[in-house]
């Protein structure tokens, strides 16, 4: 890159500060649920949200707009302005509602969004320049106590990028998107958030003697390559039509089609079917809010923003997944999804799961694919006054966990986008070719 071009793509940090709630809020400890305290939740989930310019908003500062709305939203979502803390008297790990505030960083870059391909992969600006990292950098212990950090980076074209680092111990994907949506409502001029948040962590089961697995072990694990694939609506409809024809008019979702195709394509690309009978697994998180009932989570959990999901596991043999039709692989996935109510109930009651396995354990086993559906979380609908994001970029720092994330494509573009990190570099082309094959 030419020196001048590189300089234009250099992010300048203009200011950093703590943003407290805009009004007085309750203080003291808030208990976290069993699932909030699970070992794999002890991380800040990172993502970038890319917003195109709106000529009607020329002269309006995205950073100032979002900061004001953030302070107001924290009045309702006041635990997010606190810090994670540990003590025996408050029930172990909990949130200290101290109103210390959310780290907010305002930044700018001289190039336009189109100059960096709207942050398509590979990123032309290092992700850590667009993510909120306070300076001086907190210690590991200090950073582990933070719940939310936000950075707004303005581009020369009038567009901007919002970088989030959100504690998984306090919110799952639905919860994080719910909060971002509330900030968006206030930024657009609402007097108050449309759905009042509820803490309600006592609603989440605390199973007696529940298994708690270990953190994924990177030792000896394969390093996996990033690949983003745009999927057209015609592609999805093609496989939906195949399913309907094979099942006498049955319907399946885009998620089921794309995950079935990804699982099959990865199985073929990695060569798992040799030898025959090699076991492969597919894991996906499912929203468990509807399973708790109105007595535990009023309004169907509409205001609840904590962790409330269950990881379903579907197992088969590699040769079966590789040789079956996409329709038959969808059927395998659907059979697994049907088990959600009974499996979750058994887990909540403290009954040992199948084979004594912790359902929430994440593994670095190469034969296991972890998939996530971001299309229904609400990230793509967040609007701070400039319209919804052009696209959302989930980020991962673990290149040894086989993952596949389904996100919405560019705004107003039908279809979907698969963001994958699931095969080794030498298998990426094979995986890509298998994914685009519509036979």
Q: Which residues contact 433 (CB under 8 A, 6 or more apart)?
A: none
Please tell me the number of Cα atoms within 13 Å of 156 on its side-chain side: 12
168 is catalytic: yes
Predicted confidence at residue 140, as pLDDT, reads 86
Asked if residue 103 lies in contact with residue 134, where contact means CB atoms within 8 angstroms, the answer is: yes
pTM of the predicted structure, to 2 decimals: 0.94
CB crowding 209-234: b at 16 or more within 10 Å, else e = ebeeeeebeeeebeebbebbbebeee
Ordered by start, the domain boundaries in the chain are 3-197, 225-436
Residues in the chain with pLDDT < 70? 1-3, 89-91, 352-356, 411-412
Name the active-site residue from 129, 168, 172, 373. Answer: 168
Mean pLDDT rounded to a whole number for the chain:
93
Predicted confidence at residue 60, as pLDDT, reads 97
How far is 184 from 197, CA to CA, in rounded Å?
15
Which of these CATH numbers, 3.30.540.10, 1.10.357.10, 3.30.559.10, 3.40.30.10, describes 3-197?
Answer: 3.30.559.10
Name the active-site residue from 54, 383, 399, 432. Answer: 383
Asked if residue 50 lies in contact with residue 390, where contact means CB atoms within 8 angstroms, the answer is: yes
Write the CATH number of the domain with boundaries 225-436.
3.30.559.10
Predicted confidence at residue 1, as pLDDT, reads 56
Please tell me the number of Cα atoms within 13 Å of 171 on its side-chain side: 27
| Identical topology for domains 3-197 and 225-436 | yes
Predicted confidence at residue 8, as pLDDT, reads 85
Predicted confidence at residue 209, as pLDDT, reads 80
Specify the residue for token string 């994958």: 420
* H or E stretch covering 7: helix 3-8
**The dihedral sign for the CA sequence 187, 163, 165, 302:** positive
How far is 430 from 438, CA to CA, in rounded Å?
14
Predicted confidence at residue 224, as pLDDT, reads 96
Asked if residue 214 lies in contact with residue 231, where contact means CB atoms within 8 angstroms, the answer is: no
How far is 97 from 83, CA to CA, in rounded Å?
7
Predicted confidence at residue 274, as pLDDT, reads 73
Predicted confidence at residue 355, as pLDDT, reads 54
Predicted confidence at residue 2, as pLDDT, reads 64
**Helix, strand counts (H, E) of the chain:** 12, 15
How far is 218 from 166, CA to CA, in rounded Å?
23
Predicted confidence at residue 98, as pLDDT, reads 96
Predicted confidence at residue 353, as pLDDT, reads 53
How far is 347 from 292, CA to CA, in rounded Å?
13
pLDDT digits (tens, 9 = 90+) for 367-409: 999 999 999 999 999 999 999 999 999 998 789 999 999 998 8
Q: Is residue 126 packed enough to be buried (19+ CB in 10 Å), middle (13-18) or exposed (0-12)?
A: exposed
How far is 29 from 31, CA to CA, in rounded Å?
6
């Amino acid at each position: 890159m030419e020196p001048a071009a590189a300089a234009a793509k250099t992010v300048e940090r203009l200011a950093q500060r703590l943003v407290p709630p805009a009004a007085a809020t309750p203080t003291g400890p808030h208990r976290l649920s069993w699932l909030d305290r699970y070992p794999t939740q002890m991380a800040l989930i990172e993502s970038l949200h890319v917003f195109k310019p709106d000529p009607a908003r020329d002269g309006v500062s995205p950073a100032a707009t979002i900061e004001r709305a953030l302070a107001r939203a924290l009045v309702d979502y006041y635990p997010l302005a606190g810090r994670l803390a540990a003590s025996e008297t408050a029930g172990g790990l909990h949130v200290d509602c101290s109103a210390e505030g959310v780290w907010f960083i305002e930044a700018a870059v001289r190039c336009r969004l189109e100059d960096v391909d709207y942050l398509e992969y590979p990123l032309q600006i290092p992700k850590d320049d667009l993510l909120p990292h306070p300076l001086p950098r907190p210690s590991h212990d200090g950073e582990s106590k933070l719940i939310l950090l936000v950075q707004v980076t303005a581009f020369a074209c009038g567009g901007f990028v919002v970088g989030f680092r959100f504690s998984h111990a306090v919110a799952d994907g639905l919860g994080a998107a719910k909060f971002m949506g509330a900030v968006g409502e206030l930024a657009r001029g609402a007097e108050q958030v449309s759905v009042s948040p509820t803490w309600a962590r006592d609603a989440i089961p605390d199973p007696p003697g529940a298994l708690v697995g270990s953190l994924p072990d990177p030792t000896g694990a394969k390093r996996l390559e990033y690949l983003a694939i745009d999927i057209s609506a015609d592609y999805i409809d093609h496989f939906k039509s195949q399913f309907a024809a094979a099942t006498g008019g049955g319907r399946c979702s885009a998620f089921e089609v794309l995950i079935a195709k990804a699982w099959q394509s990865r199985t073929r690309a990695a060569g798992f079917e040799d030898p025959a009978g090699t076991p492969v697994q597919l894991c996906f998180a499912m929203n468990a809010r509807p399973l708790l009932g109105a007595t535990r989570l009023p309004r169907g959990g509409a205001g609840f923003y904590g962790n409330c999901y269950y990881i379903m596991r579907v197992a088969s043999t590699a040769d079966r997944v590789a040789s079956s039709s996409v329709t038959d692989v969808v059927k395998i996935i659907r059979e697994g999804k049907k088990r959600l109510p009974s499996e979750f109930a058994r887990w909540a009651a403290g009954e040992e799961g199948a084979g004594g396995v912790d359902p929430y354990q994440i593994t670095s086993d190469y034969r296991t694919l972890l998939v996530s559906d971001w299309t229904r979380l609400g990230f793509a609908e967040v609007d701070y006054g400039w319209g919804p994001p052009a696209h959302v970029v989930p980020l991962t720092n673990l290149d040894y966990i086989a993952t596949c994330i389904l996100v919405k494509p560019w705004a107003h573009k039908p279809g979907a986008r698969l963001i994958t990190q699931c095969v080794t570099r030498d298998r990426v082309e094979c995986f890509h070719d298998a994914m685009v094959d519509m036979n």
